[in-house]
Amino acid sequence: MRTQVAIVGAGPSGLLLGQILHNHGIDNVVLERQTADHVLSRIRAGVLEQGSVDVLDAAGVGARMRDEALVHDGTQICVRGVRHRVDFRALTGKTVTVYGQTEITRDLMAARAAAGMKTVYEAQDVRLHDFDRAKPLVRYRKDGREAEIECDFIAGCDGFHGVSRKSAPPGAVRTYERVYPFGWLGVMSDTPPVSEELIYTRHENGFALCSMRSRTRSRYYLQVSLAESLEEWPDERFWHELKLRLDAKAQADLVTGPSIEKSIAPLRSFVAEPMRFGRLFLAGDAAHIVPPTGAKGLNLAVSDVFYLSSGLVEFYRDKSSSGLNRYSDRALARVWKAERFSWWMTIMLHPFPDASGFDEKVLLAELDYVFNSHAASTALAENYVGLPY
């Protein structure tokens, strides 16, 4: 098989890249290790920066998002039982959009199928070859048979555990990582959200987040020890503990119900540099992970795709490699700002098991500064709604 760009990974970053390239007449093939149903079963975040919304609209896959998404003008942070609102629109003139990553993936899959683009699901044992030369190769097994794709470029959009980053030459990748000593226990329920905006809560028992996917489906999180298991958290215990961490109004407004999904996710900050190796380019979680506190994971994947697709379009349209040569530096400049913001939000809102009394007082002072300083609240809002591309 021959194509111009081979894309490894059929998550939102791989599918979005394929959609944008197709719109510009650039042939591409997407390879995915899992089935399409498995890809759609992944529960992920759903808070989109304005820039992400604009990219999805420009790619021609934003119609359902515009009809069904929830637009938020701000967010709320609760400390010691008192809620404080950060007004994004007043501070920055921008908003965020709540639309689940699963729905974005569904929209991209539908667009890809409608256009007749090639996607290979259940592609096993994917191997990347010769990306330091003019004609890279991607080899894989499908239905027990060996197959090969010859291409001009490879886009590694296959996540943190994927093959793309691992295929880089030994010693060519430098990684930076911080692993946090707790995780998020997440519960999805078909219940109305407790608030029209997200509520971030800092409580002595641990962090809590009240989020949503729609007006009838809620997503809630609790900070828990990584030593705990899902079996230790039946629904009754989860709802009881969540109520303990909320303010009085949220406690009264909370509607509980059976969980339809439950999971524990560890928190990690991770960056791999560079994001280019010859004709192999990394995008999304293959190159970086952020703790979900700042809602940046999916948004960083979209900005990576924006930079990478711009470089590839320039290459084929203008016969120029300038955009591709600048891809890693441009993407990483934005990645590190998002890493900083996500780290800051995580440090500020989560009690750490080894924190001292001094640490606690400093973080409470930091929050007080955010709530009472126009400059500080503007800085939070600017980062949350998304820095410019």
End-to-end CA distance of the chain: 35
Could you tell me which of 255, 287, 284 has the C-alpha nearest to residue 274?
A: 287
Say whether 279 sits in a helix, a strand or coil.
coil
Write down the catalytic residue from 12, 22, 72, 307: 72
DSSP state of 199: E
Write down the catalytic residue from 99, 307, 327, 384: 384
Can 384 be counted among the known catalytic residues? yes
Q: How far apart are CA 328 and CA 252, in angstroms?
A: 48
Can 72 be counted among the known catalytic residues? yes
Write down the catalytic residue from 12, 140, 292, 307: 292
Q: State the Rg of the chain over Cα.
A: 21
Q: How far apart are CA 29 and CA 136, in angstroms?
A: 14
Write down the catalytic residue from 99, 180, 200, 221: 200
Which helix (H) or strand (E) segment holds residue 316: the answer is helix 297-318
Can 292 be counted among the known catalytic residues? yes
Write down the catalytic residue from 22, 203, 288, 296: 296
Count of Cβ atoms closer than 10 Å to residue 74 Cβ: 19
- Dihedral pair phi/psi, residue 345, rounded to 5°: -60, -40
Q: How far apart are CA 25 and CA 19, in angstroms?
A: 10
Catalytic residue annotation: 72, 200, 292, 296, 384
